[in-house]
Amino acid sequence: MYIIAIGWLYVTVLIAANEPSIVAGIISFLFYGLVPCSLLLWISASKVRRQRKAYQELLANQRLNDGNGSDTESNQ
């Protein structure tokens, strides 16, 4: 996925370099390259973020349960 993003950014840099003014080049790079590419990478990484969050919650629940299960005899 990253190689596609790098290739797309390379193409948009070349397109931006061919624009008649610097401002047009910056705008074309931002709107044709950087914004769509960052949006694509953010959306594609959402599954990984969701899985990481679920795993961290699982670990937190296991630590919480391990701490409560071992102290049952000391409270009695």
**What predicted TM-score, i.e. pTM, was given to this entire model?**
0.62
Count of beta carbons in the 10 Å neighbourhood of residue 33: 19
- Place 74 in a pLDDT band, splitting at 50, 70 and 90: low
DSSP 32: I
Domain boundaries of the chain, sorted by first residue: 2-67
Give the separation between CA 19 and CA 36, rounded to whole angstroms: 19
Instruction: Write out pLDDT tens, residues 2-59.
Output: 899 899 999 999 999 999 999 999 999 999 999 999 999 899 888 888 999 999 999 9
DSSP 21: S
Count of beta carbons in the 10 Å neighbourhood of residue 12: 20
34: Cβ contacts below 8 Å, ≥ 6 apart: 9, 12
